[in-house]
């Protein structure tokens, strides 16, 4: 099978997977796609895999597709539910109706967002919503969809983990000689408070007769914007353990500063550009410190965060072979030298970051909650207050901060790379 035939077959499979995502997927569809992928990989010779970079990219794409297909398989065509319908489910509870129909002042009551029991089993956790509930399209989300997610128990207000250090002291030892070299290991327990964000709207008594309208309002004006707020905080949140423990400590704050010396490219690049800065940051993430290589294992950088204005400078850049450096995958994702490109206005024009996304994880506490009732002057104004809460935190273990490299000044980085 020729490379052109492989590309053609793979393009067809990418299209099928893209079309199937978000819809009910039949087992037969999944097995058919798996079979086609297996057939393509069988057609790849060892020589092709070794010598042709195009084949390597095809293989990477196939691995990505396999992951998507496995995710769809686990989803198994499970029934989906619109987010606003999950909200409406709460609004139609008798306890809520009694709040809206009572002529007496109603105190604030808390309700957990859950799926309708006839549609989805169990409660809807935020981490699961993107799989089991159809979110409205969120153009502003850049960081949340990318990062692994986990849950903490409803009785937990902090997330905990263990950080350790390990020093290897392996060496030679003579025959009949006492062993003096020994490894050293330490472990320290770390915790961080779960951040709590809220949003509030007022609804009139007349509006409470239309649950669909209120549900749409909650979705579009509260939860959607709450997720956008969370997404922004995942980048620039200023939380820390001493002065703002109840806020999110963002990616930018965790990151390791870019060092041209540690990338191994300081003063070695003729007429460097932003692309060279990205490559230097990628190298630093991968090797940690090129000037002091040790047995320490580097990271696998796979993401580039960049401002759209800066991105415009490299979108049309070409290599010496005349081909564009930025690749566009079938699903529209842009990549550069193996890095998935995430454009966001949250990233300053003069900055960029390269990271290994596996080092970070977003934790959520329980399902989103809404409180419904009356406060202050609501009774005299014939209206009600609805408050929504999201609880989350970003965790990056101390040693893994090396897996995020922040270039805080692209112009200064270019200068540091420039060959005299």
Could you report the per-residue pLDDT of 226-276, keeping only the tens digit for each? Answer: 888 999 999 999 987 677 778 999 999 999 999 999 999 999 999 999 999
Whole-Å CA distances, 186 to 50, 159, 160, 241: 41, 20, 17, 21
Element (H, E) at 52: none
Residue-wise pLDDT tens digits, 328-349: 998 889 999 999 999 999 999 9
User: Which residues of the chain register pLDDT less than 70?
Assistant: 1-87, 100, 102-107, 111-140, 154, 166-168, 221, 241, 293-296, 366-367
Q: State percent of the chain over pLDDT 90.
A: 30
Q: Phi and psi (nearest 5°) for 215? A: -60, -45
Question: In sequence order, what are the beta bridge partners of 165?
Answer: 186
88, 135 contact by CB (below 8 A) = no
How many angstroms separate the CA atoms of 277 and 257, rounded?
A: 13
How many Cβ atoms from other residues are within 10 Å of residue 222's Cβ?
21
For residue 35, what are the contacts with CB-CB under 8 A and spacing of at least 6? none
124, 367 contact by CB (below 8 A) = yes
């Amino acid at each position: 099978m020729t490379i052109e035939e492989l590309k053609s077959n793979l393009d067809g499979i990418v299209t099928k997977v893209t079309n199937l995502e978000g819809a009910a997927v039949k087992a037969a569809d999944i097995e058919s796609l798996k079979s086609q992928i297996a057939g393509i990989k069988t057609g790849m010779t060892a020589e092709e895999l070794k010598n042709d970079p195009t084949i390597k990219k095809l293989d990477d794409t196939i691995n990505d597709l396999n992951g998507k297909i496995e995710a769809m398989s686990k989803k198994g065509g499970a029934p989906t539910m619109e987010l606003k319908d999950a909200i409406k489910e709460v609004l139609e509870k008798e306890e809520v109706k009694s709040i809206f129909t009572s002529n007496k002042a109603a105190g604030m009551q808390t309700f957990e967002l859950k799926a309708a029991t006839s549609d989805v089993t169990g409660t809807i956790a935020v981490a699961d919503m993107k799989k089991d509930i159809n979110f409205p399209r969120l153009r502003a989300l850049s960081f949340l969809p990318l990062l692994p997610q986990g849950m903490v128990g409803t009785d937990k207000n902090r997330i905990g983990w263990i950080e350790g250090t390990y020093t290897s002291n392996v060496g030679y030892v003579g025959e009949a000689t006492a062993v003096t070299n020994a490894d050293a290991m330490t472990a320290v327990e770390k915790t961080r408070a779960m951040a709590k964000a809220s949003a509030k709207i007022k609804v009139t008594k007349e509006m409470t007769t239309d649950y669909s309208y209120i549900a749409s309002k909650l979705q579009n004006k509260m939860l959607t914007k709450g997720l956008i707020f969370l997404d922004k905080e995942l980048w620039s949140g200023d939380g820390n353990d001493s002065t703002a423990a109840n806020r999110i400590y963002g990616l930018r704050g965790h990151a390791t500063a870019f060092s041209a010396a540690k990338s191994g490219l300081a003063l070695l690049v003729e007429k460097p550009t932003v692309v060279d800065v990205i490559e230097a940051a990628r190298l630093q993430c991968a090797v940690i410190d090129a000037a002091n290589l040790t047995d320490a294992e580097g990271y696998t950088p796979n993401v580039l965060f960049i401002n759209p204005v800066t991105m415009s400078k490299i979108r049309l850049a070409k290599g010496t072979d005349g081909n564009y450096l930025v690749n566009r995958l079938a699903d529209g994702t842009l990549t550069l030298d193996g890095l998935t490109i995430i454009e966001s206005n949250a990233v300053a024009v003069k900055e960029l970051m390269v990271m290994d996304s596996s080092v970070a994880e977003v934790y959520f506490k329980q399902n989103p909650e809404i409180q419904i009732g009356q406060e202050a002057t609501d009774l005299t104004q014939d209206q009600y207050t609805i408050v929504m809460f999201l609880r989350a935190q970003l965790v990056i273990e101390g040693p893994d901060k090396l897996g995020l490299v922040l270039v805080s000044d692209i112009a200064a980085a270019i200068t540091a790379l420039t060959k005299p």
